[in-house]
Structure 1
Amino acid sequence: MTTYPYDSVDVGPSLGLVVLQVDETIEGDMRRLLGDAQLYVSRVPSDARVTRETLAEMAAHLGSAAALLPPAADLAAVAYGCTSGAAQIGPVQIARLVRQGRQVGAVTDPVSALVAACAHLGIRRLALLSPYVEAVSEQLRDVLAQQGVDTPVFGTFAEAEEAKVVRIAPEAIVDASMDLCAGAEVDGLFLSCTNLRTLPVIDRLETALDLPVLSSNLVLAWHMAQLASVRVAGPGRFLATA
């Protein structure tokens, strides 16, 4: 047997992402938006149906999911990838639970990221389009209001099954967004849910509405990039000016 020496390489900036078991969209979106950053993904058990109760149940598994991220990776930030879950569990609790499983300096989530993005853009009145039933979305609206972001117009696809949410056609998202924002006095539009396929429609909607259009995955990638000092690129005027 011959033993050979080797050199070690720097793998570059590393990020961690805790994704819902049922989410089929966020991982691909984040890799597209975060480019060269090393992204490590863990999954957290989640119910096939979205209710306030099933969202709250994820809290019991967040620490163990974060613990499955590669222990040797030097993670600059870890994100929990669920908008409604973040609103239900709360950003402070999410950060505490993630750090129970993995020590990391920065923890974020789509709600924290959205609040930061709205502050960056000066948005105070936001049109909100959600795939979920009203009871789930109401919690998100309340949390945003507490942070100084009102949602005077709200629309929903009233869907409770994640497997159907991910298959909502882009054209349906465009049509609903156009109707929701027609005549509304808002500063921007938010497309809620990390499982909703939003990236392909952002540029089209911004052109039609002449408003900044944000989505869960767009703001989450931006906030992770801010926290970790890495590059982020994608559709929309927000990332072009961030």
Structure 2
Amino acid sequence: MQFDYELAPQLGERATIGLIALQSDETVEHDMRRMLPLEGVATYVSRVPSGAEVTNDSLAEMEGNLTGAARLFPLPATFDVVGYGCTSGTSVIGAEVVAGMVKKGCETNAVTDPLTALIAACGRLGVRRIAVLSPYVAEVNTALIAAMERAGLEVGLLGSFNEEREEFAARIAPKSIAAAAEALAKEGIFDALFLSCTNLRTLDVIDGIEAATGLPVLSSNQVLGWHMMQLAGVDPLARFGRLMR
């Protein structure tokens, strides 16, 4: 028995967004589903191969796999924005290269990443001098700081957990992140704190760090989610720290 049917429009009456997460990332997809409004917004996630250890070489290797990861989104879908979920990877590969590789693999109006999103968020908040907390080793941090400074930010201080293994970076306890961030804030005069890395569990400590330090606190996943919604033309329903105040 055969039935006739009608075709419905693409899901996502408000927006359609995509996220390319690292294979090794345990946090960013979970955080995005907590932050982003679900009603009327279709969200699709793909994964890109990534190394178990985070070095500039392993980050650079992702460039060649970004287009393939974007091609794994549903083929008929057209996106308002696609986010690439790697702060340090963007600093090594370059935001323009990332955007070009993603656009080769899917149809999207915009591409962003945590570094591009951070620059946009700092512009919104009037942030110039920033302290950075990273989980990673010196060579990765050096590339990140250089990219931030090329974008016009002044990195006044860097703190790090000096962890090379991605699986351990993903499991750093939020209370350890908060303690380190609050210690950094006491070491100088800054406009904001930045918690770098999409694998860090930052969302639940942002408000507490802001209360303890009196500074705006930005994290990779927070700014990425905020910027994706901005580019998609959707007012976020979730609160993004001071970005929504």
With the shorter chain as reference, the TM-score category is: over 0.9
> 2:34 pairs with 23, 32, 35, which one?
32
> 2:158 aligns to what?
154
For residues 207 and 236 of structure 1, the distance between their equivalents in structure 2, rounded to whole angstroms, comes to 15
Contact 2:85 2:113 in 1 (8 A): yes
Q: 1:7-51, CA deviations, whole angstroms, 9 ceiling, x for partnerless residues?
A: 625522110111100001000111111121211011000000000
TM-score (ref. length: structure 2): 0.95
Q: Which amino acid aligns with 1:158?
A: N
Q: How does 1:143-222 map to 2 (within 5 A)?
A: 143-222=147-226
Contact 1:203 1:235 in 2 (8 A): no
Q: 1:131-171, CA deviations, whole angstroms, 9 ceiling, x for partnerless residues?
A: 00111011111111111101111100000011001110111
Aligned-pair CA distance for 1:236: 5.0
Aligned-pair CA distance for 1:234: 3.8
- 1:159 match: secondary structure: coil
> 1:65 aligns to what?
69
Q: 1:124 to 1:195 in 2, by over 3 A?
A: same
- Alignment pair present for 1:126 and 2:126: no
Aligned-pair CA distance for 1:238: 2.3
- Alignment pair present for 1:116 and 2:111: no
Contact 1:34 1:232 in 2 (8 A): yes
Q: Which amino acid aligns with 1:174?
A: A
For residues 233 and 204 of structure 1, the distance between their equivalents in structure 2, rounded to whole angstroms, comes to 20
After the TM superposition, which of the residue ranges 87-96 and 100-109 deviates more from structure 2?
100-109
Q: How does 1:14-29 map to 2 (within 5 A)?
A: 14-29=16-31
> 1:8 aligns to what?
8
For residues 2 and 93 of structure 1, the distance between their equivalents in structure 2, rounded to whole angstroms, comes to 48
Aligned-pair CA distance for 1:235: 4.7
Q: 1:113 to 1:27 in 2, by over 3 A?
A: same
Q: Count residues with an aligned counterpart.
A: 241
Q: 1:177-207, CA deviations, whole angstroms, 9 ceiling, x for partnerless residues?
A: 1111104110000000000000010010000
Identity of aligned residues (%): 48
> 1:78 aligns to what?
82
- 1:153 match: secondary structure: strand
> 2:228 aligns to what?
224
Aligned-pair CA distance for 1:74: 2.4
Structure 1 segments of 4 or more deviating over 6 A? none
Q: 1:93 to 1:236 in 2, by over 3 A?
A: closer
Contact 2:206 2:241 in 1 (8 A): no
> 2:54 pairs with 50, 57, 61, which one?
50
For residues 184 and 209 of structure 2, the distance between their equivalents in structure 1, rounded to whole angstroms, comes to 12
Contact 2:131 2:184 in 1 (8 A): yes
- 1:176 match: secondary structure: helix
Aligned-pair CA distance for 1:2: 4.0
After the TM superposition, which of the residue ranges 56-65 and 224-233 deviates more from structure 2?
224-233
For residues 238 and 131 of structure 1, the distance between their equivalents in structure 2, rounded to whole angstroms, comes to 23
Q: Which amino acid aligns with 1:5?
A: Y
Contact 1:232 1:239 in 2 (8 A): no
For residues 219 and 124 of structure 2, the distance between their equivalents in structure 1, rounded to whole angstroms, comes to 15
